[in-house]
Structure 1
Amino acid sequence: MTHNIHGTFVSEKINKIRWRPDFMNDSHYFITGSWDNDQNSIKLWDFQENEEDAEVYPFLVTEFCHKGDVTEIKFLNGDFFVTSSSLGSVYLMKISSEHGIEPLIENKISWEGIHKFPNEEISPCTAFATNDNDIVSVGEDGTINLLNSQNQSIFRKFNNADSCSINCVTFLKHSEILTGNLRGQLKIFDIRASKNEPTTIFMLSGDQVAPLCLQHHPTQRHLIMAGDEEGSITIWDLRQNAYPVNLLDAHEGSISEIHFHPDHPNQLFTCSGAGDVWHWSPKSGGMATAGLTAENVWLASETIKNKLDVFTLMPKLHKPINSVDVNRNKVICGCDNEAMYLINGINIFK
């Protein structure tokens, strides 16, 4: 695969990095969130491409001070995004762009300290998921909060939803969420139900391996992937969720994030605590030969490994890569070596 790698030293550890959804048909903007600083920040970046030497020059557009480590960032649309904090808070942010004025980041709603342990000590908000205007946050306190981007109040709180830290969460549909906890349990909650109890519980594996990230397929929400602390990817078809349909031994270190390509859902991107960024793609002609489609290649039999090519997008680093995101033929990732990387010109096989 032929692509260009551009690294930029930013003097802070990057915990989250996200492309801004196409704004005015311009995909050059992205957001980073730091961690492990005395004062952390959210930063909006742009970059310029030099056609003569194919170099890319990211430059800072604006920044906003963030209370605590940035534990997650997700965009609701091109203007609004949500962040979460190690100090137990969730924030709705806006990129304000007025004619003739450089964009600014503004805090529109703060849900301060909504994650707390029973002794009232602050609990980190470990993750959240979004679905239209709905937000669901989870934390080390085992609590689930249901929020809405148009309302300051907490819509609903699931106290003691779990007896241990909840590491990750995703929406399955507007009324159903899936969580993954420290003990390796995946739990489905019906957020319309009156009880704060899961409707379904199943294990990631038999060894209590903790999931660190969850991702549903862009067009088939019953297809769920979980990346765990031992570097494996477990795949479920939630229409028959007693056992996973596939288990991929992937990275040597823990899997930090999993992302499907937004336009080509048969393409997958992962990053790890071992310092890797990988691109998973069905082998050329493999899907047609096996009678598979882009939607169900991940549900193939145990021979799925023979149907996939795995490409290393950049040389392995000696520090964890915490976050990855993809837009068109560009991949960005943030690392603990105080640098971010833009991988330009990746091949997306259709």
Structure 2
Amino acid sequence: MAHNIHGTFVSEKVNKIRWRPDFMNASHYFVTGSWDNDQNSIKLWDFQENEEDAEVYPFLVAEFPHNGDITEVKFLNGDFFVASSSSGCVSLLKITSEHGIDPLIERKIYWEGVHKFPNGENCPCTAFCTYDNDIVSVGEDGSINLLNAQNQNVIRTIENADSCSIRCVAFLKHSEILTGNFRGQLKIFDIRAPKSQPATTFMLSGDQISPLCLQNHPTQRHLVVAGDEEGSITIWDLRQNTYPVNVLDAHEGGVMEIHFHPDHPDQLFTCSTDGDVWHWSPKCGSASSLLNGENVWLASEAIKNKLDVFTLMPKLHKPINSLDVNRNKVLCGCDNEAVYLINGVNVFK
């Protein structure tokens, strides 16, 4: 697969990297969130592509200081995004762009200390998920918080939702979330119901292997994919039952993030602590079956024979913590204090 790789040293470890949703039909803005600094920050970057095969270097547009390590960043739309940190806080931030003035990052809502240990000290917010303006955060305290981008108050808190740290969370529907905890348990909660107990609990695998990330299929939210600390990818069809449809032995290290391509959901991208970025794509014969309504990720037999896996860049010797996909471009952030733009990825089957 022919593509170009452009790496840029940014002088800090990057824990999260996200494309800004197309702004005025321009897909060249992105944000990064750092970790392991005395003062961490969220930064807005821009790059402009010039001639074909020319080097592409992002340049810093705006910066916002943030307490603690950045643990998650997600855009609600082209202007507003949410960030969480190891200090237990969640922030709603806005990119303000005025004609003739460089963009700024402004904080609109600050939910401080929404995750706390029993002694009252703030504990890390490990992850959050979004659905329209709703935000659900989870943390090492085992609690779940329902927030809203139009309300400065916490809508609901489920304390002691879990007896151990919750590592990841995803919306299944507007009233339902799926969480994954440190012991490898996955739980479905109805966040609108008065009870605080999960509606369903099941295991990631037979062993206590912790999930590191959860991701929904873009058009079929009942299809959920989890990446775990041992490098496996597990796929469920939650319409049927809580037994996995498929388990793929993937990376040598933990799977840090999983992203379906937003426009071509038969294409999957993963990154890991072993320094790999992979592109999972249906083989030509399998791709044609998608026209008949078959979802390759739910193929119960010989799924490995229906997929090609491509390495998008040479293996790094540091964890790749985060990636994001926009059209035929993939961004990733790494512990080697660099960000990478992979341009020209073949997703147009």
Are the aligned partners of 1:281 and 1:349 in contact in 2 as well (CA < 8 Å)? no
Q: What is the match of residue 298 of structure 2?
A: 299
Q: Relative to 1, partners in 2 of residues 1:108 and 1:304: Cα closer, same or farther, differing over 3 Å?
A: same
Q: What is the match of residue 126 of structure 1?
A: 126
Q: Does 1:13 align with 2:13?
A: yes
Q: What is the match of residue 220 of structure 1?
A: 220
Q: What is the match of residue 240 of structure 1?
A: 240
Give the paired residue count. Answer: 349
1:334 counterpart letter in structure 2: G
Q: What is the match of residue 345 of structure 2?
A: 346
CA–CA distance in 1 between the matches of 2:239 and 2:194? 24
Q: What is the match of residue 55 of structure 2?
A: 55
CA–CA distance in 2 between the matches of 1:316 and 1:294? 35
Q: Does 1:160 align with 2:156?
A: no
Q: What is the match of residue 271 of structure 1?
A: 271
CA–CA distance in 1 between the matches of 2:286 and 2:329? 25
Are the aligned partners of 1:265 and 1:294 in contact in 2 as well (CA < 8 Å)? no
Are the aligned partners of 1:270 and 1:279 in contact in 2 as well (CA < 8 Å)? yes
1:98 counterpart letter in structure 2: E
Secondary structure (helix, strand or coil) at the match of 2:170 reads strand
Secondary structure (helix, strand or coil) at the match of 1:24 reads coil
CA–CA distance in 1 between the matches of 2:24 and 2:122? 40
CA–CA distance in 2 between the matches of 1:15 and 1:295? 35
Q: What is the match of residue 249 of structure 1?
A: 249
CA–CA distance in 2 between the matches of 1:328 and 1:93? 25
Q: What is the match of residue 332 of structure 1?
A: 331
Q: Relative to 1, partners in 2 of residues 1:293 and 1:40: Cα closer, same or farther, differing over 3 Å?
A: farther
CA–CA distance in 1 between the matches of 2:162 and 2:52? 55
CA–CA distance in 1 between the matches of 2:145 and 2:237? 26
Q: Deviations over 1:217-241 (max 9, x none)?
A: 0000000000000000000000122
TM-score, scaled relative to structure 1? 0.98
TM-score, scaled relative to structure 2? 0.98
Deviates more, 1:240-249 or 1:9-18: 240-249
Query: Counterparts in 2 of 1:95-244, with a 5 A limit?
Result: 95-244=95-244
1:55 Cα deviation from its structure 2 partner: 1.6
Unaligned runs of 5+ in 2: none
Q: Relative to 1, partners in 2 of residues 1:232 and 1:293: Cα closer, same or farther, differing over 3 Å?
A: farther
1:273 counterpart letter in structure 2: T
1:72 Cα deviation from its structure 2 partner: 0.1
Q: Relative to 1, partners in 2 of residues 1:315 and 1:294: Cα closer, same or farther, differing over 3 Å?
A: farther
CA–CA distance in 2 between the matches of 1:83 and 1:118? 24
Q: What is the match of residue 323 of structure 1?
A: 322
Are the aligned partners of 2:214 and 2:226 in contact in 1 as well (CA < 8 Å)? yes
1:49 Cα deviation from its structure 2 partner: 1.3
1:53 Cα deviation from its structure 2 partner: 4.1
Q: Does 1:41 align with 2:36?
A: no
1:61 counterpart letter in structure 2: V
1:136 Cα deviation from its structure 2 partner: 0.2
Q: Deviations over 1:240-259 (max 9, x none)?
A: 22310000000000000000
Q: Relative to 1, partners in 2 of residues 1:293 and 1:169: Cα closer, same or farther, differing over 3 Å?
A: farther
Q: Relative to 1, partners in 2 of residues 1:53 and 1:348: Cα closer, same or farther, differing over 3 Å?
A: closer
1:122 Cα deviation from its structure 2 partner: 1.4
Are the aligned partners of 1:31 and 1:42 in contact in 2 as well (CA < 8 Å)? yes
2:314 counterpart letter in structure 1: P
2:24 counterpart letter in structure 1: M
Are the aligned partners of 1:287 and 1:293 in contact in 2 as well (CA < 8 Å)? no
Are the aligned partners of 2:290 and 2:296 in contact in 1 as well (CA < 8 Å)? no
2:220 counterpart letter in structure 1: Q
CA–CA distance in 2 between the matches of 1:194 and 1:335? 41
CA–CA distance in 1 between the matches of 2:42 and 2:229? 26
2:221 counterpart letter in structure 1: R
1:26 counterpart letter in structure 2: A
RMSD: 1.1
CA–CA distance in 1 between the matches of 2:127 and 2:276? 22
Secondary structure (helix, strand or coil) at the match of 1:302 reads coil
Are the aligned partners of 2:129 and 2:137 in contact in 1 as well (CA < 8 Å)? yes
Q: Deviations over 1:159-212 (max 9, x none)?
A: 000000000001000000000000100000001111111000010000011101
Q: Deviations over 1:110-145 (max 9, x none)?
A: 000110011112110000000000000000000000
CA–CA distance in 1 between the matches of 2:36 and 2:17? 15
CA–CA distance in 2 between the matches of 1:322 and 1:126? 14
Unaligned runs of 5+ in 1: none
Secondary structure (helix, strand or coil) at the match of 1:97 reads strand
Are the aligned partners of 2:172 and 2:178 in contact in 1 as well (CA < 8 Å)? yes
Secondary structure (helix, strand or coil) at the match of 1:305 reads helix
Secondary structure (helix, strand or coil) at the match of 2:57 reads strand
